[in-house]
Chains A and B, each alone.
Chain A
Amino acid sequence: MQKILIANRGEIAVRIVRACRDMGIASVAVYSDSDRSALHVRLADEAVAIGASPAADSYLRVDRIIDAARASGADGVHPGYGFLAENAQLAAACSDSGLTFIGPPADVIALMGSKTEARRVAREAGLPLVPGTLQALSPGTDDAECLRLAAETGYPVMVKAVAGGGGKGMRLATDPDALLGAVRLARSEAESSFGDGDIYFERWIPRPRHVEVQVLGDRYGTVLPCVERECSVQRRHQKLLEETPSMAVSPEVRRQLTHAAASLAASVGYTNAGTVEFLLDEDGRFYFLEMNTRLQVEHPVTEMVTGVDLVEWQIRLARGERLTMDPEVLLTPRGHAIECRVYAEDPDAGFLPSPGRIEAFDVPHGAGIRDDSGVEAGAQIPIHYDSLISKLIAWGADREQALARMRRALREYTVTGVRTTVPFFRWLLEQPTFVAGRVHAGGLDEVLHDRREEAFAARDSSLEEVALIAAALDLAMRAHADRDAPSAWAGLARREGLRA
């Protein structure tokens, strides 16, 4: 492979451009109208405009991605995550056009993309499933049948989109009265997000942890699993913070989990990078949840504890190389790593998206800190896409050191112009339950519900005094400098209460 087209934007496009450059491979960015000035375009070797700002007119257009690859002379296509990453049509269109798709085969994407089919093959591979319906419920399924199947599954019932992923199209029904409403909402979100209103039911598992296993597969039948990632810090099924290894996984459970993930991947002829997701219940039993046939947002934490560059290996596997690393290196974490997802959302306003222009963007550095950001100062955050702007990753020799480094980095992290989840993470990393590792997938939602909308940035009267001093000095220094050259500021200062 000499030149790779990156069918994505934001931080993951930047991540892939950098991996290409590390390997001496040319990179081609694609961009919509609102992304002309984005970081991924500037860093890539070449760039192709693919359409208007709504993703449906640009990043989700298989035909335009293929045209851009052909026009630029790329021989490989990396889909990143999101957009077309789990779209079997893109993978198929790539092979039809003689392009190497950097991911698993199209038929495996299609198989695992159907959550009910994935459950079937996982069961055949001997993985434990969350109890629930094995068949999909099409939009034509009548209410009585929905209620009957839900009763058979057992309440509380999680209603999930067959084509789902990333927490979209999921609704919890605690009793039969809530079921039909949950079905309607899940179907509607599934239709708008995936163009497919099929749903299925799973019994809700109380206080589950969300644990997942990264796998890598080569074309010669070798599948290697990596030490698990713990992704239980979620808000409305959206992951916010991930870490590895999990505090809840013993060496024995790790052996079983990673073996189960590798068995499933091998049974479907999986190649390239993928992730098998599990729920871990309070008694330490695990259940297959779904398989993501792509690179995950949270892949950096695995890279930090294994030393393996997963994007580089995706490219190497796609060009037919064999997995040569020692399997034990992937299963034995070196230290501990944590990732915080920095979203342009206002945690003090119910995590409402906060699009706009980033004024200051100053990311932390230093020992054990990795910044994977996709924006910079002056960037405009469009309303059209996911609001993830950056990922902050901390590594430490143990969890305590990783947490300390993450707290230090969050203190230095500065974004102005838009609101971000940074103040939320500063708060979270001080919470005793989180520090003790006592987390579960619904825990944060419970805490947020109880807090109502109390601000995450706690009042600190000593810092407040410093802020007052700083603001007064700023005004005074402007007024001072303006004695020779009067400006609006001096005028304001004079009018509004300066007393010399």
Chain B
Amino acid sequence: MRFRFDVDGEERAVDVERTGGPWVVALGARRWLADMRRSGQGWSLLLSPADDGEKRNVARSFDVRIDWPGADQAEVRVNGVAIALTVARVLAARRPRAAGDGAPSDGALRAPMAGRVTRVLVQVGQAVEPRQGLVVVEAMKMENELRAPRGGTVRAIRVAAGDPVNAAEILVELDT
């Protein structure tokens, strides 16, 4: 079986086959014998080189967690280090749909998380510099000054002091 993944923009293929006994995995020019078992809240993965008979009994051991936050999105932690992977073919199929979806490059200031608006620092029609503070949102007892993603003119302010806001909610719209 061949799996294609996208990791940090780079496509990588992994070949996996079962030969009756252990799994044999090929990645790039190297082949491994792999033994992955449930262990604790995650997995224990033992890897040894498939082509070196003498070292087969001594495997490298990895502490692995695998989460699938989306059907095609894997977050794998190896020895505590998180690595995000995407099943590449699914990614290719989804890209066109995401494009016209009001991506966050529209200059709007969005709430990075749920919280409450403490103050609005600008007015409609006001010209703002890039990174100028626009709105102060309190979340988890800390006030966070949210800054303009780019310079421009304030077209609309969608919130007022005291308003609760949800993550990703648009707070201020900018004309650029």
Contacts and interface: CB of A to CB of B under 8 A. Distances in A.
Contact of A474 (B12, B27, B66): B66
Interface string B38-50: 0011110101000
Interface in A363-382: 377
Contacts of B25: 469, 472-473
Interface of A is mostly: helix
B89 A496 contact: yes
Given A414-B80, A479-B1, A498-B1, A492 B71 contact: yes
Q: Categorize the interface residue count of chain A.
A: 35 or more
A325 interface: no
Contact of A188 (B7, B16, B119, B139): B119
Contacts of A192: 118, 138, 143
B85 A467 contact: yes
B172 interface: no
Interface in A316-336: none
Interface stretch (B57-65, B95-103, B123-131, B152-160): B57-65
B140 A385 contact: yes
A499 B5 contact: no
A221 B75 CA distance: 57
B27 A469 contact: yes
A475 B143 CA distance: 43
A411 B27 contact: no
A356 B42 CA distance: 20
Contacts of B87: 475, 496-497
> Most chain-B CB neighbours within 10 Å: which of A193, A416, A468, A479?
A468
Nearest to B62: A466
Given A465-B27, A470-B66, A362 B41 contact: yes
Nearest to B144: A352
B80 A352 contact: no
B80 A498 contact: no
A500 interface: yes
A300 interface: no
Contacts of A496: 72, 87, 89-90
A53 interface: no
B115 A470 contact: no
Interface of B is mostly: strand
Interface string A449-480: 00000000101100111111111111111011
Contacts of A476: 1, 3, 16, 18, 23
Interface in B129-176: 138-144
A413 interface: yes
A424 to B, nearest CB: 13
Contacts of B4: 497
Nearest to A167: B142
A497 B89 contact: yes
Q: Categorize the interface residue count of chain B.
A: 35 or more
A386 interface: yes
A472 B16 contact: yes
A349 interface: yes
Interface in A274-329: none
A410 B118 CA distance: 36
Given A459-B8, A470-B64, A498-B2, A362 B40 contact: yes
A463 B67 contact: no
B82 A457 contact: yes
Contacts of A422: 80
B104 interface: no
B80 A410 contact: yes
Contacts of A460: 81
B15 to A, nearest CB: 8
Given A383-B115, A385-B140, A469 B65 contact: no
A416 B85 contact: no
A468 B12 CA distance: 8
Contact of A500 (B1, B5, B27, B45): B1
B78 A463 contact: yes
B10 to A, nearest CB: 9
A472 B43 CA distance: 13
Contacts of B120: none
Interface string B75-115: 11111111101011110000000000000000000001111
B81 to A, nearest CB: 5
A188 B118 contact: yes
Contact of B76 (A360, A467, A493): A467
A76 to B, nearest CB: 27
A426 interface: yes
Contacts of B122: none
A480 B3 CA distance: 14
A2 to B, nearest CB: 34
Contacts of B16: 472-473, 476
B113 A353 contact: yes
B1 A471 contact: no
A249 B79 CA distance: 36
Contacts of B66: 470-471, 474
A75 interface: no
A499 B23 CA distance: 15
Contacts of B18: 476, 480
Contacts of A468: 5, 7, 12, 14, 27, 85
Sorted nearest first, the 7 A-B pairs with minimum C-beta distance are: A467-B76, A472-B14, A467-B83, A353-B140, A497-B89, A472-B3, A463-B78
Given A469-B34, A470-B64, 4 more contacts: A468-B27, A470-B66, A473-B36, A475-B87
25 contacts: A192-B118, A360-B41, A362-B40, A383-B114, A384-B140, A412-B80, A414-B80, A416-B77, A460-B81, A463-B81, A464-B7, A466-B45, A466-B47, A467-B78, A468-B5, A469-B27, A471-B74, A471-B76, A472-B25, A474-B36, A475-B87, A492-B90, A496-B72, A497-B4, A498-B1
